[in-house]
Amino acid sequence: MTRDPKSLIKIARENGEDSPVEPLDLGQRVRDLRKDRNWTLEQAAKQAGLARSTLSKIENGQMSPTYEALKKLAVGLEISVPQLFTPPQQEKVNGRMAVTRMGEGQNQLTTTYEHELMAETLTRKKMLPYRARVRARSVDEFDGWVRHDGEEFLYVLTGVIRLYTEFYEPIEMKRGDSAYYDSTMGHNVISVSPEDATILWVTSLT
């Protein structure tokens, strides 16, 4: 059965790549803000003008703070009240990493490509990286254009390919060449070298 990049994205999302955002935990948010400043409970409570026991209960979800308490917390942490309910910025380092050894990726065989999905152990990724062996030698082997949401980066690893796109003339590409394009635009890739070409594809999941 033919499986195009759109199907691979669907697989990734079924594996948790596109999970809904969880509601913000105010207590955890306050605790994280306090720890970001290297403050103890006593120090943070003093800054906010709250009792230590009150702050402890807020952080542990044992009480819902009044608006007055929220204002004191915001002043003490030197932020606005809305920022108490704003998730931490994405640039915060969380140490996620996945290593995929050669030949250990998840294989997906199609009539036109052999895909090897990488970083499969990571969930909620923003990108889907995979290596592909290009088996197709003619665009006639495809059932129309491949198209899907997002953007895509292509890098030729071995061989020579021809990149067909809906709005541009076909482009011949060799090892080391790359292309970045809107993947809602129809696209197909074939190998024009005697052997199957191999490429690295990175598709956005947003």
Lowest mean pLDDT, pick from 56-65, 79-88, 141-150, 183-192: 79-88
Segment 146-172 shows an average pLDDT of 94
pLDDT at 98: 81
Could you give the CA distance from residue 17 to residue 130 in angstroms, rounded to a whole number? Answer: 15
Tokens at 137, concatenated: 């030698």
The answer as to whether 151 is a domain residue is yes
Per-residue pLDDT at 21: 47
Q: Is there a domain that residue 142 lies in?
A: yes
pTM (two decimals): 0.58
Same-domain pairing of 104 and 160: yes
- Identify whether 41 is part of a domain: yes
**72, 112: one domain:** no
- The region of weakest confidence among 7-16, 149-158, 160-169 is 7-16
Q: Which residues pair with 154 in a beta bridge?
A: 179, 201
- 109 and 174 in a common domain: yes
Domain that holds residue 70: 26-84
How many distinct structural domains can be found in the chain?
2
Q: Which of 7-16, 20-29, 44-53, 172-181 has the lowest mean pLDDT?
A: 7-16
54 and 119 within one domain: no
Asked whether residue 89 is domain-assigned, the answer is: no
Cα 44 to Cα 27: distance, rounded to the nearest angstrom: 14
Say if residue 131 is in the same domain as residue 172: yes
pLDDT tens digits for 186-195? 999 999 999 9
